Amino acid sequence: MKKHTVIDERILTQQRKINSEALVVLMTLLGVAVLIQSALLNRPFHEYWIELATFLITSTYLIVRYLIVGLNISTNGQHMPLLVSTVVALIVTILNGFTNYTRYNNFYLKDGLGIFVAVLAITFLSAFLLTYVVATIVNQLNQHRQAAINKKMDEIEK
SS3 call for 91: helix
Tell me: the pLDDT tens digits for 35-65? 889 878 888 889 999 999 999 999 999 888 9
| Domain coordinates in residue numbering, the chain | 1-69, 72-158
Phi, psi (deg, nearest 5) at residue 72: -75, 120
Q: Estimate the share of the chain in helix, then strand, then coil, as percent rounded to the nearest 5.
A: 85, 0, 15
pLDDT per position as a tens digit, 95-138: 888 888 887 878 777 777 788 888 899 999 999 999 999 988 88
